[in-house]
Structure 1
């Protein structure tokens, strides 16, 4: 199993030296990203998106590090949106998109082929267009020719993964103006404050025994991770976490959300990565195992459960939340009985976007500390660079 150097994680200077593009610094600016994006969206005329008639449908296009924008809008709009909200990563644009519809295309560089092609086709068909990305980019040019609204991403970021809130905020403001979600500027300001608090809690200078992101990184590094959300909202955070663990920390990670993923996750507790193979009953290392006679310890399953904020009794969805909590408790109990190491992270805040932000921010820090603790630069992958060279 990989070894995570705790002393290295506790050295802010060592972390900064390895983090060549300032990924940790970029994550710490998440709150500032929200505030700057609010201003940029206002200056771009985001209110004009909802200035006329409500569109017949909304399609959101993003991929790679910005693909979670699609997932967030989808989960927030799904319960009560008056119009259909769909997501798309790649062309072609669905045949039913036309002048009565709105297409939102998101790309930090403004050059991602999927969103760019979808935006260009939407403009050709006369659909309303909102784009978010770099200024003076092909995406901005397509938007200008289609007489749409383009919001510049002004905040510098080493990767699209660390610029999430610069890209997501304008989309949420537009959706709020259209009545698709309840996510006003005031609510986003509270999100910014929460992200600032998370940045302080998970700062590099905070020692590993009090820094919750470093604690999780140290534990997960010794496991084969599974990230499980206890519902639809936390399922989006689980998908983002798995993507960050794979792309940033280079650790293959599976994910799912309850209730759908309960059986497939619990079934893994019978397999070769559960408490068997030289592990102690509590999922830790067997103190009496001899690495020369017994061989190296087998990789152990680790379960990271993302829990939503408890719903107050009397709330409309209290019974559904209670049932979801019982199922999550049952999965956690089964995991511990099987010798699987378990960690739980509970969402903070009251509004859905606040709760989601608290979970995403935590797992983003965990993934970045995982990479650094394993001696990897979070923003630079040799094989990703080679892949781009081979496909360019």
Structure 2
């Protein structure tokens, strides 16, 4: 059950948030600043790259690794493909990783771990060394993974853990994503793979702080876009429709954090393909919903049925050739409620920060204000 009244009472909301999820999201800007400082101290700004890598290979534990690879792909200038490696094994600690056969000295391996204790990732560093593939890792200093990367003369970028917490609790660390992504943004920018200059990376923290100001617990629901979205998604299956590479990455991450934080399923698809992909689902639900004008229907035996809500992600308000008008028309035709999220414009990195931070807040509000939590 979702207690919407909790959103209007900051004190009750704070008591319900026993794991500090909202505090973690609000501190994302601070985590970015700390991550940039640690990356600079680790030597990122002093790198003198000899050309660009052929491929970026990303390996890491947890859903944040997938999202980091997805966002890097969306922000990439197109000069270097990003490939996410997937392991085999029953758990993260027992995962076995293998480099593709074509990997060699022209490629760069990026390892992501807020713990740095996974033996499979440490073994992957050894594989890369035998192939002549350079390795870099974002992981806690002095962790086994950091030591393994240092031994092969790779670059170990310290993971910026939450304040007062020497070890990262991935389940409750809602700011871990930015602490993992930021050092890689600095590294790929130095390699010429990202078009964001250093000043824009520092401005990223300011953007996250601005979103936290608009979406914080003290802001009333009617002026708080994250609380509004959380309330709209109560008891609904979200259909996350997106237009643009950055918006698509944000929608896929929102589906991930909804499942991880609030235990809510969601379906994501890119426009215009989403219209055909989810159209039959909308039509099927609409066809099996009881007719509200049928006065004699059996209301006692009537089930609530499946309720859906479309969340439309856009990188900017409607542009020429946008599929957003068609999405609105289809939503209206099937009586499907629709929410819209659009960044106010700016660079791709600024747009990503706006969309990702707002939806992080919404997922946490859903989790905290629900009586049953994952």
TM-score range, shorter chain: 0.7 to 0.9
Number of the residue aligned with 1:384: none
Alignment partners' CA distance in 1, 2:133 and 2:63: 26
Aligned to 1:385: none
The 10-residue stretch of structure 1 (208-217 or 194-203) with the greater mean CA deviation from structure 2: 208-217
Query: Counterpart of 1:299 in 2: which secondary structure?
Result: coil
Q: 1:299 aligns with which of 301, 306, 311?
A: 306
In structure 2, the partner of 1:14 is 12
Q: 1:260 to 1:292 in 2, by over 3 A?
A: closer
RMSD: 2.4
> What residue in structure 2 maps to residue 27 of structure 1?
25
User: Are 1:195 and 2:208 matched, yes or no?
Assistant: yes
Report the equivalent of 1:70: 69
Work out whether 1:354 is the aligned partner of 2:350. Answer: yes
User: Are 1:126 and 1:146, in contact at CA under 8 Å, matched by a contact in 2?
Assistant: no
Q: Residues of 2 paired with 1:220 and 1:19: CA distance?
A: 19
1:211 aligned to which of 224, 229, 239? 224
Alpha-carbon shift at residue 290 of structure 1 (Å): 8.4
Q: Once the 2 structures are TM-superposed, how far is the Cα of residue 70 of structure 1 from its aligned partner?
A: 0.4
Per the alignment, do residues 241 and 280 of structure 1 end up closer, same or farther by CA in structure 2, a change over 3 Å counting? farther
Checking the alignment, whether the CA contact within 8 Å between 1:18 and 1:376 is kept in structure 2 is: no
Distance 1:279 1:46 in 2: 62
User: Who is 2:50 aligned against?
Assistant: 52
Q: Is 1:61 matched with 2:33?
A: no
Cα deviation, residue 225, structure 1? 1.1
Cα deviation per residue 1:170-211 (whole Å; 9 max; x = unaligned)? 111111111111122211122211110110111112222222
- C-alpha contact 1:305 1:344 (8 A) present in aligned 2: yes
2:102 is the counterpart of 1:89: no
SS in 2 for 1:215: helix
Residues 231-283 of structure 1: CA deviation (Å, up to 9, x unaligned) = 222110000000011111101111111233331022222112x47524769xx
Q: 1:86 to 1:254 in 2, by over 3 A?
A: same
Deviation at 1:164, TM superposition (A): 1.1
Label 1:31 to 1:219 Cα distance change in 2 as closer, same or farther (>3 A): same
2:98 is paired with a residue of what secondary structure? Answer: coil
Aligned to 2:250: 237
Asked if residue 169 in structure 1 is aligned to residue 176 in structure 2, the reply is: no
Shift of 1:113: 5.8
**Inter-partner Cα distance in structure 2 for 1:114 and 1:328:** 43
TM-score (normalizing by structure 2): 0.88
Matched ranges for 1:1-392 at <5 A: 3-47=1-45, 49-66=47-64, 67-77=66-76, 79-81=77-79, 83-90=80-87, 91-112=97-118, 115-156=121-162, 158-159=169-170, 161-272=174-285, 274=286, 277-278=289-290, 292-310=299-317, 322-323=320-321, 325=322, 327-376=323-372, 381=374
Aligned partners of 1:372 and 1:34: how far apart in 2?
24
Name the structure 2 match of 1:386: none
How much does 1:338 deviate? Answer: 0.8
Give the 3-state SS of the residue equivalent to 1:209 in structure 2.
helix
Q: CA, structure 1 residues 280+238, in 2 after alignment: closer, same or farther (shift >3 Å)?
A: farther
Could you say what secondary structure the match of 1:175 adopts?
A: helix
The TM-score with structure 1 as length reference comes to 0.84
**Unmatched tracts of structure 1, length 5 or more:** 312-320, 382-392
Q: Summarize deviations over 1:82-136 as a string: whole Å, max 9, x none.
A: x433222332111122223211111111234664443342133332111001122
Q: Mind listing any 5+ residue stretches in structure 2 that lack a counterpart?
A: 88-96, 163-167
CA–CA separation in structure 1 for the residues paired with 2:60 and 2:45 = 22
Q: Distance in 2 between matches of 1:215 and 1:349?
A: 21
Summarize the Cα distance change of 1:56–1:212 in structure 2 as closer, same or farther, 3 Å threshold: closer
Indicate conservation of the 8 Å contact 2:25/2:174, yes or no: no
Aligned length, in residue pairs = 357
- In 1, Cα distance between equivalents of 2:217 and 2:272: 36
Residues in 2 aligned to 1:47 and 1:32: alpha-carbon distance in whole angstroms: 20
Contact kept, 8 Å, 1:63 with 1:114, in 2: the verdict is: no
- The match for 1:317 is none
